[in-house]
Chains A and B, each alone.
Chain A
Amino acid sequence: MEDAAVRFEVVEISPTANKFVLAGRLDSASVGAVETPFTAALAAGGRSAVLDLSGLDFLSSLGIRLLLSAGRVVTRRGGKVVLFGAQPMVAEVLKAMALDQLLPLVATEDEAIALLSA
């Protein structure tokens, strides 16, 4: 497993949607470092968001809580959040906690973007 704290970057993909690329490990030691800037960036965008999880090596319950907050911030403003590209164990954790019932989880960026306009 890669030894890297979590980091993220924001990419504008359309006038109404941003892509957030999450990479590294989203765990109890690292979540505090990104929680505020991540949520602020989601809120400032005022748009829907697709979250690229392909570089995310690890997700624990505090990371799930962060994704829940992200979903809450965006849906309150009328937007959508779609997750894509999760590695197998990250996907298993998301499914174990039924997060995929709240925030759709798909394989590719194209599928995620298609869901935003569905």
Chain B
Amino acid sequence: MPFFPPEAAPGEAAEPVFSVDIALDSAALDAAQDRLGAFLEGAGLPAPVQYRARLVVDELVANLMMHGRFAGEPLPARLTARPGSESLLLTLDDAAEPFDPRSAPAPEAPPSLEDDRVGGLGLALLRKMARILAYERTVDGWNRTLLAIPLANPGAK
């Protein structure tokens, strides 16, 4: 599977990279989140960044489990985490039909107690907790979403 970004940016020291395949079921997601958490803890990332990373993975993979459509059997998604000097970069690859989280609709208004709608909250929260840097459809027909969580003052973006 192609890997994005292919290498550390010029001038940026090579950092440890974490990668895990996540089968699309709750137990696998939970296990992958625990492994990611252990990696981020070992890399010395602040607790708020660890929380955001777990949240991003939860929202994206839960979205895939609930809404992802696959040509055949659902394939596991692949998560890659790369701590950089300013941000934690997360890449999620999945084999579902095209889904661009930058343009997908999500409610702009806050939820209400009268509103029984079920969609969009996860995406709205994702956009508040991370920056979606890029989305692309790869040559082998996968979705690839690249996100960044700032290491300092992660609430600022």
Contact = CB atoms under 8 A, between A and B. Distances in A.
B146 interface: no
Nearest to A27: B58
B18 to A, nearest CB: 16
Given A29-B26, A64-B121, A102-B111, A96 B128 contact: yes
B34 A3 contact: yes
Contacts, number: 82
A104 B30 CA distance: 30
Contacts of A99: 110-111
Chain B interface helix/strand/loop/mixed: helix
Interface of A: 1, 3, 27-30, 32, 58, 60-62, 64-65, 68, 71-72, 75, 88-89, 92-93, 96-99, 101-102
Interface of B: 26-27, 29-30, 33-34, 37, 47-48, 50-51, 54-55, 58-59, 61-62, 65, 110-114, 116, 118, 121-122, 124-125, 128-129, 155
17 contacts: A1-B37, A1-B47, A1-B50, A3-B34, A28-B58, A28-B61, A28-B62, A29-B26, A32-B26, A61-B62, A61-B122, A64-B121, A75-B113, A92-B155, A93-B129, A96-B125, A98-B111
